[in-house]
Structure 1
Amino acid sequence: MSTQHEIGTKERNLFLEALPSVIDSALANPKVAEIPGLKEWTKKLLTHNMTGGKGARGLTIVMAYQMLEQPEKLTEESMHLARTLGWCYEMLQSFMCVFDDIMDGSEKRRGKPCWYLLPDVGPACAINDSLMLYNFMFYLLKKNFGVRNYKTAEHKANDYSLFTVERHETIIKYKTAYYTYDLPTKLGLLLADYKVDVQTKKLMQDVSLEIGLLFQTQDDYIDSFGDETLTGKVGTDIQEGKCSWLAVNALQRCNASQRVVFNACYGSKEPAHLERCKQLYCDLKLPELYKEVESRYYDDILERIQGFPTDELKRLYHRLLEITYQRKK
């Protein structure tokens, strides 16, 4: 166990060390030099929005490639390309986070003020900057891989009658699971030119989606009960009235009087309403239920991993599960 953690720490450090060269490569875009001051602004944009986070999605690409590539092909050059691909994915994440923070009215991201709240930025400029992040991602993909297309999906619900387990899982599938686990592992697979049959590819997707369910369930719980000093951000799911795991399960368990409290307080930005919702969650014993659900996810995923036909794939998904299980941020 300790050896795996050491490998993870070493690779994370190497991944972080690769960021300056990735930023320099982005700034080498000839169009940047055409506009006075753009190079300095872009460097500030990339540095602020791409540092301080876990880098989990980008690291997943690197880890998948490293575990699936033939050993003789694991060179400094190939690993640098894998880390570059990982940082391209982190650019996509940053692009989405800038928008998400504006929509949610968030104040902090990764322990820092949100980009749109900086005195010299503001919401309008931040929207433009987010599109720059998106375009720099494609510039680097084209420069290094010739990749041009990417598609993701996200959906939110605000009608309490639609706050069902089925709808919540559908939201997770398209908001988180494909984006956080399925696509990164498949990018690593493609980069390593690792061949799998149709049945194995389907199992990869199924396990990735199940880990995604675990991840987003954790995210929903951490949003209300996480330690801000660890997460680096203030949760807003209650204030925004999101269809979260906590809200869905609260609605399934509350009695008539508790439902009145939920209807009155959920989606409100009043601090007293926020605390009342959290107290309602505790009254309904959702923290205890969360621990049971997290453990059940772990056992189910562990069992499914045994179905992979190769040791490389088993190690990869064991590692992904180990990184995700019982996370606090």
Structure 2
Amino acid sequence: MAAPAIDPKAKAAQRKKEFLDVWPKLESELVQLMKQHSMPEDATEWFRRNLNYNTPHGKLNRGISVVDTFEILQGRALTADEFFKASVLGWCVELLQAYFLVADDMMDQSITRRGQACWYRLPQVGNIAINDSFMLEAAIYHLLKLYFREEKSYVYILELFLETTLKTEIGQLIDLITAPEEHVDLSKFSLKKHQLIVIYKTAYYSFYLPVALGMRYAGINSDAAYATALSILIPIGEYFQVQDDYLDCFGTPEQIGKVGTDILDNKCSWNVNIALQRASPEQRKILDENYGRKDSACEARVKAVFNELKIEELYREYEQNTYEKLNKLIDAIPESEGPVEYTSGGNATYEPMMEPYPRTIPSLGNDKDTMGLKREVFRSFLNKIYKRQKRPGGEAKMESYQIPHSGASVFVALFKNVTNAASLKKRLVTASTMAGDEGIAERAAVNFAFIDARLVTSKMMLETAIHQALLAEEQGALKTKYIHSEILWFLNPGNNISEAIRRFGVTESSTDIVVLRVFKDSEPRSIDVRKDMEKVVEGQIAPLEDLPTDWAALKKYYKLGSDTALVQADSEEAQRRAVDRIVINTIAIKSVAS
């Protein structure tokens, strides 16, 4: 009898959980270093908070890719020790990402990152974030010394991180001086500039580094193997960013999980560079006068030129050609069970300005490896990207995710056509005053945040409020008694708790409700949270993308009628995007402003 097929999503979720389980030990090792040097308690606590606020978030794809690459090359399940050490390398990649993002947010003067206020915007952080970014980078090398100093691959791993960091910083420099937000000059743009920015700022550290680390830890030494990997992974990274640029302009907020802003932000994107190549003098004039302006009407004029030039059609042609070329490169990789000897320098078509990988040191390795590359390593990357939509929706389900820095798990579902809102509200009031064991059981049964779905703009709005509430709890700064009521408080622009519950909580007439449950790591957890929700709310679970947002009510509560971004918006869609941005930013900085 054949073994049951493993659900890829369930497998990915399990791998992410296992990877996250490694983080507390590494965080403890790094904090312990401060204690070993007798650092003051406030400095030690600052470093701990820096680590947890900035590192274990997001999808963690880069870090997990190190583990996946190593496992594919081994051709078997990893031992506990192998998984741990591969995860250490993965977390070092995530620390590198954290270092880049903390610094990048300061350079761009960003407001939010991953649903929470940017680190430098937190009270008392400010420019200290510059030093904090350095400490995140330095943490990489402490962990590598701690766990890999005795490995033959140690020097190669060090060089991979150092070389990749330099490449990424060069890419960032080109991006900053080519497309500053405050000075638009499209004459500086070109597809060559775009390619350099993409390759150096993104492709090396997001695609090549995780795979190369897995290869080094697996014992692959030949220079030709790394040249082959580079020749495939850099084009994959370029394809990924071109796709990202395309989706930012042509994807809907429901598809990509955010409102695209590349045109408004003067990004040197693939779309505008293709347009500049093909534009007539009249179209070029429109692009020069409107690109990079913080004005939705200007953005619409740019998009109109993109449509005239058939950028969408050109992208689809680019995507299909790139996919076919990459598959040919992957198919050309020799696979063998025994020792592998590479006779060529790979298929490299790029000419990086620096050494693309650490050359093998003769005394430590040679060109004959005990294992070779596996096509699956590269195909797994390509298949995740091909015809990607950042956040595809449509399936009616409860969603869940972890927030590592707080040790919390979040479960959230949208219920539509709710029929028991009035009795549910009455039940919540009764449960709050019920005495004895019966009261304890009843409060546990309704221990959710019940949010009027009409006043939610996006998943990002919810995630931002959740992150802020958890951060307030961690700092002992809750404005309300409980985490779920704190989320409601953050959703409301004012500081009145009763007003927040009255506006954003469930009402007698609610027909669409977002139900949300936050579990702390130490808290007993229900086996079936969705079932618990369905016991309390009588309605149908719908995709979170189907939020029935009442934009007029939100503008009223947030007092946005005369806001410049709304006044200048030339369409209903542009107004909604502006409202979503303003609301999310308001939530993210509420604890700072209040």
Q: TM-score, normalised by structure 1?
A: 0.88
Which residue type is aligned with residue 63 of structure 2? G
More divergent stretch after superposition (16-25 vs 155-164): 155-164
State the match for 1:42 in structure 2.
47
Do structure 1's residue 88 and structure 2's residue 92 form an aligned pair? yes
More divergent stretch after superposition (204-213 vs 157-166): 157-166
The equivalent position to 1:264 in structure 2, one of 284, 289, 300, is 289
Note the alpha carbon deviations across 1:226-258, whole angstroms, 9 max, x for none: 555776666553344232111201212322222
The equivalent position to 1:207 in structure 2, one of 229, 232, 237, is 232
More divergent stretch after superposition (286-295 vs 270-279): 270-279
**Cα distance 1:35–1:224, how it changes in 2: closer, same or farther (>3 A)?**
farther
Would you say the 8 A contact 1:68–1:194 is kept in 2? no
SS in 1 for 2:263: helix
**Cα distance 1:276–1:100, how it changes in 2: closer, same or farther (>3 A)?**
farther
State the match for 1:176 in structure 2.
202
Instruction: List alignment gaps of at least 5 residues for structure 2.
Output: 180-184, 337-372, 391-594
CA distance in structure 1 between the aligned counterparts of 2:295 and 2:281, rounded to whole angstroms: 22
Equivalent runs, 1:219-298 vs 2, <5 Å? 219-226=244-251, 235-298=260-323
Do structure 1's residue 53 and structure 2's residue 58 form an aligned pair? yes
C-alpha displacement of 1:88: 0.8
% of aligned pairs identical?
35
SS in 2 for 1:188: helix
Note the alpha carbon deviations across 1:16-67, whole angstroms, 9 max, x for none: 2222222222212135751221233223222222233121211111111111
**Cα distance 1:27–1:272, how it changes in 2: closer, same or farther (>3 A)?**
farther
C-alpha displacement of 1:261: 1.8
Do structure 1's residue 190 and structure 2's residue 216 form an aligned pair? yes
State the match for 2:69 in structure 1.
64
SS in 2 for 1:28: helix
Do structure 1's residue 128 and structure 2's residue 135 form an aligned pair? no
State the match for 1:119 in structure 2.
123
**Cα distance 1:107–1:281, how it changes in 2: closer, same or farther (>3 A)?**
farther
More divergent stretch after superposition (78-87 vs 257-266): 257-266
CA RMSD in angstroms comes to 2.6
Which residue type is aligned with residue 210 of structure 1? P
CA distance in structure 1 between the aligned counterparts of 2:250 and 2:383, rounded to whole angstroms: 21
CA distance in structure 1 between the aligned counterparts of 2:96 and 2:57, rounded to whole angstroms: 16
**Cα distance 1:145–1:211, how it changes in 2: closer, same or farther (>3 A)?**
same
SS in 2 for 1:238: coil
Note the alpha carbon deviations across 1:202-245, whole angstroms, 9 max, x for none: 22110011101111112222344455577666655334423211
CA distance in structure 2 between the aligned counterparts of 1:284 and 1:81, rounded to whole angstroms: 50
CA distance in structure 1 between the aligned counterparts of 2:389 and 2:114, rounded to whole angstroms: 14
Higher strand share: 2
The equivalent position to 2:190 in structure 1, one of 164, 176, 180, is 164
CA distance in structure 2 between the aligned counterparts of 1:164 and 1:328, rounded to whole angstroms: 26
The equivalent position to 1:324 in structure 2, one of 377, 385, 389, is 385
Point out which structure has higher relative CO (alpha carbons under 8 A, 6+ apart): 1
Which residue type is aligned with residue 207 of structure 1? I
More divergent stretch after superposition (136-145 vs 156-165): 156-165
Which residue type is aligned with residue 85 of structure 2? L
Higher helix share: 1
More divergent stretch after superposition (134-143 vs 105-114): 105-114
CA distance in structure 2 between the aligned counterparts of 1:3 and 1:193, rounded to whole angstroms: 31
CA distance in structure 1 between the aligned counterparts of 2:186 and 2:272, rounded to whole angstroms: 9
CA distance in structure 1 between the aligned counterparts of 2:43 and 2:219, rounded to whole angstroms: 38
The equivalent position to 1:27 in structure 2, one of 21, 28, 31, is 31
CA distance in structure 2 between the aligned counterparts of 1:263 and 1:296, rounded to whole angstroms: 30
State the match for 1:315 in structure 2.
376
More divergent stretch after superposition (81-90 vs 124-133): 124-133
**Cα distance 1:110–1:67, how it changes in 2: closer, same or farther (>3 A)?**
same
C-alpha displacement of 1:112: 2.3
Do structure 1's residue 103 and structure 2's residue 107 form an aligned pair? yes
CA distance in structure 2 between the aligned counterparts of 1:104 and 1:30, rounded to whole angstroms: 31
CA distance in structure 1 between the aligned counterparts of 2:280 and 2:380, rounded to whole angstroms: 41
State the match for 2:482 in structure 1.
none
Which residue type is aligned with residue 328 of structure 2? E
Do structure 1's residue 299 and structure 2's residue 299 form an aligned pair? no
C-alpha displacement of 1:96: 0.6
Would you say the 8 A contact 1:258–1:280 is kept in 2? yes
Higher-Rg structure is: 2
Would you say the 8 A contact 1:69–1:194 is kept in 2? no
Instruction: List alignment gaps of at least 5 residues for structure 1.
Output: none
